[in-house]
Structures are given as C-alpha cells and as structure tokens.
Amino acid sequence: MQQKNKYARIQEFLNQNNFPNFRMNQITNAIFQGRINNFTDITVLPKILRELLIKEFGESILTIEALKVQHSEQVTKVLFEISGDEKIETVNMKYKAGWESFCISSQCGCNFGCKFCATGDIGLKRNLTSDEITDQILYFLLKGHSIDSVSFMGMGEALANVQIFDALNVLTNPELFALSPRRLSISTIGIIPSIKRLTQNYPQVNLTFSLHSPFNDQRSKLMPINDRYPLLDVMDTLDEHIRLTSRKVYIAYVLLAGVNDSIEHAKEIVNLLKSRYKKGNLYHVNIIRYNPTFSSPMRFDEVGENRVENFYKELKAAGINVTIRSQFGIDIDAACGQLYGNYQKTINE
C-alpha cells in the first residue's frame, strides 16, 4: 500500500485537530523559505501545535540522516541512513557557471542485475518512500543550496518504484519545492508501463533511456531486463513519448572496452535511431566513459580516448545528436551508475 507523503499527513493531522488552514502554509513557508529543519524552531506556530507535531512526526522535518559526507572538486557525495538501518547515496554537482545539480536515489539497491552497474551488486533492499526520495533534496535545500536540476539517476531503477510519481508531485508542487518538471530527469533501463505513465502524467520531465548495446542479444546479456522489455518494444514506447510530448529523449551509452565500443556498435546505433520517429532527430546520445575502479557484477576495462573519439565521430558524422559526458566525482565513486553503498565497510568504521 502506498504511504502518503509527510506533507499530506501533516495537512490531515491539522484538519483532524481543527487547526485553521493557514497553519499548513506557515509550516511549508518555514521549511521551504525559512529553511527550518525542526518543528521546535517554527516559532510562528503556537507552542501547543509545535508540541503536537513533534509528538506525531518527531523533532526533525527530515526522515533521513546524513552519516558520511565526501567532497571532491565540484562534487559532494552524501551517505544517508534510512529506516531499517539501510543506506543510500546522493550526489551534488556544482558547475563552474554556478548551476547546482543533484543525482538522487529511488531504491535502496537494485535487483535488475545490469553487469556493469555497482548498485546491481547489492541486490534490492527495498523501494524508497516518497519522503526518502524528496528528503535527499530537502537536506541540501535546508543547507542553503540552490536546487537547479534533479536527476533520478542514483541508486535503483526509478521507474520500478511507484513512489516516484508521488515524489514528482511533491517536487513540482508550487507550495513545496516548486520545481519545473523540465528541471527533473528520470533515467530508466526500459520499464515500458512506467514510461507510458510518465508520458501521460509528466510529459515535461526529461527522460533518459539506458541503451548500452544496440544489439538485442548482447543487450540481454548486459541487461537482463531486455528479455522482459525487448529493445525494439522500448524504442516504440519512446517514439510514442516523443510524438505525444514533442520532447527530446536522451540515450545513455556506457562504453565498455572490447564489449560495446566498436564502430559496428556505433553504426548499429545510427541504424536504430535513424529508423525511429522523425528519423531520430529528437534522440540525443550521451556517451559515458566506464570507470573500472568500483564494484560491479562483471569487471570491464576502461575505454581508450581514441576509441571514445572514434565512436563519437561515427555518430556525429551520421547526423546523430551526441555528446561525450564529462565524468564528475570519479575519485569518490560518484560518477554515473557508480553509486554504491558499501554497507559492511560503513558499519565497521
């Protein structure tokens, strides 16, 4: 059963106890404008209400606790503890232009078993609640950060967790985070029913599809989900998304040395995308360098820069929209697809 987010529960609590409607506005203003983290400090509320809120919801607004913070140039990674003594990771990236981006987790672990992904090595502990998802952003907001963009590209498969849709409601609610859907991005390995739901309910949210091989058989070996939702079926769903939303779809492609980095792979990506809606003009490929320094079910070698450049040039020359993604936070295992909660190590520290 889907649990209501804490903002809805606070509103219900106020209604049940016959407090006037403006009290909810005072609470949300204190959190999101005043950046207050404790009910005790919302002094605009009468003391009796603050005491009732603490008794019902606890002292802190946050439902997660920061256990460990790591910094590198432009990147901060936070290890959070969630209920059940489990842990998740969140990454904050600061760009030189002043823009702040956040990569958040949607599951504790993941059970889809992609061969190159560190999180898949953990297995799925559980789905995160809507509060646990949005509190990763609230933690940074309360510390004075500017929330410029949010990517659901941390631990877990976002579209496998139904709570993601309530989290989107909270993040875009003008009374709460008030984020534009266009500042939100969701990455998926191809969960077709949830892609369709996203298209219908959140057409302006940016969508990224993790491809990693244009060959159906090879993709199944790298990403077992491909047996359940085959590549061409996913591409048909993405075409429908583009037709209905007129929005670009991003294609994530992690280069694995000697596995999916050949010119033949590049040519097949061209064939795949050029056969799609509007000849693939609304697809954009992001090439991502694999970082071999983290735990994953299989080990791969790092791709040489010449291979990266040649792959890029093959796509570019064919008219494919393509970018080579910069890797942030490699030195603290915070790069794309590389968040990994090292639970035993954390317990022993």
Catalytic (active-site) positions: 89, 336
Q: Are 106 and 155 in contact (CB under 8 A)?
A: yes
Non-local CB neighbours of 285 within 8 Å, separated by 6+ positions: 250, 251, 253, 269, 273, 315, 320, 321, 322, 323
Single-letter amino acid code for the residue at 157: E
Residue at 296: amino acid letter: S
Distances (CA, A) of 301 to 215, 220, 305: 20, 20, 12
Distance CA(348)–CA(199), nearest Å, equals 44
Dist CA 250 CA 16 (whole Å): 45
d(CA 128, CA 160): 11
